[in-house]
Amino acid sequence: MKFIDEAILEVIAGHGGKGCVSFRREKYVPRGGPDGGNGGRGGHVILTATHNMSTLMDFRYKKELAAEVGHKGMGGQCEGRCGMDLVVPVPVGTVVYDNETNEIMIDFTIDGQQGIIAKGGRGGKGNAFFVTSTRQTPRFAQAGEEGEKKTVRLELKLLADVGLIGCPNAGKSTFLSVVSKARPKIADYPFTTVEPCLGVVQYGDCSPFVVADLPGLIEGAHEGRGMGDRFLKHAERTRIMLHMISVSPEEETTPLERYAVIKKEVASYYRAREQAATGLGTETTAACPREIVVFSKIDLIDAATLAEFVRDFTRTTRSEVVPVSSATGKNVAVLLKMIGQALNR
């Protein structure tokens, strides 16, 4: 199933039903008086979060959501039936934006959470409602109010504790397949990961945590090069960003140079998100999570070269680095323990 994480929809709530103009007519009851009932409320458009969906694929071709209109009132002061609410499921992690103002309308983070996206119009009053001591036979009624009509943007942000980022072929998918039961596509060419993949990791006494494997980044990703940086939004909710850097001899640049490229792209992404939020007068919710740097594929180089890479990296960045090999399992347990302890703080 194709992974779709954005959709733009037209949502139309139901129109309220018209009020009724009616007069009571019964044998032996002259001048029975007005008895027109009120119209029913139009249906709301409601979204509800569910764990049974993992993509916005259902909205790829469905571009309009419309609720039922309210029914008109009837004589005998009978109110019209309310229009049925349209309840539409979305994946947990979906954020709903007003497409015109870019304001967040609702953020679905809990299974079963519901939110009214467009409210149905109120039903019109029948002529019985307008009876007064000086106006005993009103011959008019209200029309129902129009339901809300909006253009909304749905944006899916996967709920994960740890996000894997790095250049293509950095060993992210292999690492995920080793530490979890996830089976992402693995190959010896760039961009084998074209959509995010989730895996649940259970290590020792630590609580289980979810790891998201994100498509690789290259220089200029914030300008749309390669797969672009659009998948970085799935890392916004993570508490830890695992930056994986391959130390394979096949790499043409040093680990430090590749690290600088990815850091620049991530910083450009978050800066753009912040500027967009500030320009619209809204608070930014995008904040860089904690980072753990990992040197991967250490089984492909000798110990002296690895030590030199680690020494140069830590001396320049003042950051700790964890060398691991997913193929041999070396230091994988050390890394998982570090992640578990960081998440439990």
The predicted-structure confidence for 147-194, as pLDDT tens digits, reads as follows 999 999 998 887 788 888 888 888 888 899 898 887 877 766 566 666
Residue 181 is predicted with a pLDDT of: 83
The pLDDT value given to residue 128? 93
Mean pLDDT of the chain: 86
Q: Are 64 and 10 in contact (CB under 8 A)?
A: yes
Does the pLDDT value for residue 335 go beyond 60? yes
Instruction: Look at residue 20 and tell me whether its pLDDT is greater than 70.
Output: yes
pLDDT score of 284: 47
Among 55-69, 122-136, 229-243, 282-296, name the one with the lowest average pLDDT.
282-296
Give residue 2's pLDDT.
Answer: 54
Q: Report whether pLDDT(234) > 70.
A: yes
pLDDT of residue 187: 65
pLDDT above 70: percentage of residues in the chain: 90
Name the more confident of 276 and 303.
303
CB 253 within 8 A of CB 309: no
pLDDT of res. 280: 52
The burial of 31, by beta-carbon neighbours within 10 Å (0-12 exposed, 13-18 middle, 19 or more buried), is given as exposed
Most trustworthy range by pLDDT among 11-20, 250-259, 264-273, 323-332: 11-20
Predicted TM-score (pTM) of the model is: 0.72
Decide: 335 and 176 in contact? Cβ < 8 Å.
no
- Tell me which of 76-85, 160-169, 268-277 is least confident: 268-277
pLDDT in tens, 192-230: 666 778 888 888 777 788 888 888 777 766 566 665 566
pLDDT of residue 223: 63
* Residue 200, beta-bridge partner list: 210
Q: What is the pLDDT of residue 190?
A: 61
User: How high is the pLDDT of residue 238?
Assistant: 83
In this predicted structure, the answer to whether residue 274 has a pLDDT above a threshold of 50 is: yes
Tell me which of 93 and 283 has the higher pLDDT. Answer: 93
Residue 56 near residue 154, CB atoms below 8 Å = yes
Q: Which residue has the higher pLDDT, 190 or 309?
A: 309
Given a contact cutoff of 8 angstroms between Cβ atoms, the answer to whether 320 and 264 are in contact is no
Q: Which residues contact 213 (CB under 8 A, 6 or more apart)?
A: 164, 172, 173, 176, 182, 184, 193, 196, 197, 198, 199
**With bands split at pLDDT 50, 70 and 90, how would you rate the model's confidence at 1?**
very low
| Three-state SS sequence of the chain | CCCCCEEEEEEECCCCCCCCCCECCECCECCCCECCCCCCCCCCEEEEEECCCCCCHHHCCCCEEECCCCCCCECCCECCCCCCCEEEEEECCEEEEECCCCCEEEECCCCCCEEEEECCCCCCCCHHHHCCCCCCCCCCCCCCCCCCEEEEEEEECCCCCEEEEECCCCCHHHHHHHHCCCCCCCCCCCCCCCCCEEEEECCCCCCCEEEEECCCCCCCHHHCCCCCCHHHHHHCCCCEEEEEEECCCCCCCCHHHHHHHHHHHHHHHHHHHHHHHHHCCCCCCCCCCEEEEEEECHHHCCHHHHHHHHHHHHHHHCCCEEECCCCCCCCHHHHHHHHHHHHCC
Mean predicted confidence (pLDDT) in 220-248 = 76
Residue, of 128 and 189, whose pLDDT is higher = 128
Domains and CATH numbers, the chain: 1-156 (2.70.210.12), 162-343 (3.40.50.300)
Give me the mean pLDDT over the 326-331 stretch.
91
